[in-house]
């Protein structure tokens, strides 16, 4: 359920809308973060210099920490993550700059999704809403770091 659905339900008082399920959304968020971590690790290994290797590895580790927080939340609710997060995601771009662009877009998409889920659960599951909001904030911070790396790797930049 998106924030628009939630807003429409609040405005129109639609009681026919089924409640948003927490466990599947936690599993989906975990899978997304785990896959992003794997993609960042693959892109780190293909990076052209030590700075990018360190930065992307650190971002991957942070993604893994975020994914682990979702595993712990799922365990507290008697559930487990759905699938292997290291499954291949987006095919890699031809160069480092393109791969960083893919990583940035993935982080922006994930942050948007997490914010929508935070809004969706705000009324029914405030603790989960806070978790999703915190994770969205972390994804925004990662996006800023990726933008910095993209600026340094820009093939059009003057050396």
Task: Kindly give the confidence (pLDDT) of every residue in the chain, 159 residues in length, as a single tens digit, with 9 standing for 90 and above.
Answer: 565 666 656 555 554 434 568 999 999 999 999 999 999 999 999 999 999 999 999 999 999 999 999 999 999 999 999 866 555 555 667 789 899 999 999 999 999 999 999 999 999 999 999 999 999 999 999 999 999 999 988 766 544
Using CA atoms, how far residue 77 sits from 74, 81, 128, 133, 156, in Å, is 5, 11, 11, 19, 50
Q: What's the domain range around 97?
A: 21-81+93-153
Q: Residue 138 half-sphere exposure, CB side, CA atoms within 13 Å?
A: 19
- Alpha helices, H only, the chain: 3-12, 22-45, 50-76, 96-121, 126-153
Give me the CATH number covering residue 120. 1.20.1260.10
Determine the length of the chain: 159
User: Is residue 135 a part of any domain in this protein?
Assistant: yes
Q: Residue 154 carries which DSSP code?
A: -
User: Is residue 8 a part of any domain in this protein?
Assistant: no
Residue 17 has a pLDDT of 38
Residue 152 has a pLDDT of 87
pTM of the entire structure? 0.81
Count of domains forming the chain: 1
Give every CB contact of residue 64 below 8 A, 6+ residues apart in sequence.
33, 34, 37
Q: CA-CA distance, 113 to 111, in Å (whole number)?
A: 5
User: Is residue 7 a part of any domain in this protein?
Assistant: no
User: Is residue 143 a part of any domain in this protein?
Assistant: yes
Residue 15 has a pLDDT of 46
User: Is residue 88 a part of any domain in this protein?
Assistant: no
Give every CB contact of residue 109 below 8 A, 6+ residues apart in sequence.
none
- Determine the straight-line distance between the first and last CA of the chain, rounded to whole angstroms: 47
């Amino acid at each position: 359920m998106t924030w628009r659905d939630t807003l429409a339900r609040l405005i129109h008082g639609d009681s026919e809308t089924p409640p948003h399920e927490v466990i599947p959304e936690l599993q989906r968020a975990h899978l997304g973060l785990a896959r992003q971590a794997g993609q960042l690790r693959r892109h780190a290994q293909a990076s052209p210099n030590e700075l990018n290797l360190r930065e992307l590895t650190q971002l991957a580790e942070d993604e893994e920490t975020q994914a682990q927080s979702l595993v712990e939340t799922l365990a507290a609710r008697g559930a487990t993550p759905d699938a292997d997060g290291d499954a291949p995601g987006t095919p890699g771009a031809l160069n480092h700059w393109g791969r960083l662009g893919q990583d940035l877009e993935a982080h922006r998409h994930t942050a948007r999704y997490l914010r929508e889920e935070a809004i969706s659960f705000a009324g029914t599951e405030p603790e989960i809403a806070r978790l999703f909001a915190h994770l969205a904030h972390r994804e925004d911070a990662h996006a800023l770091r990726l933008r910095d790396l993209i600026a340094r790797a820009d093939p059009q930049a003057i050396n």
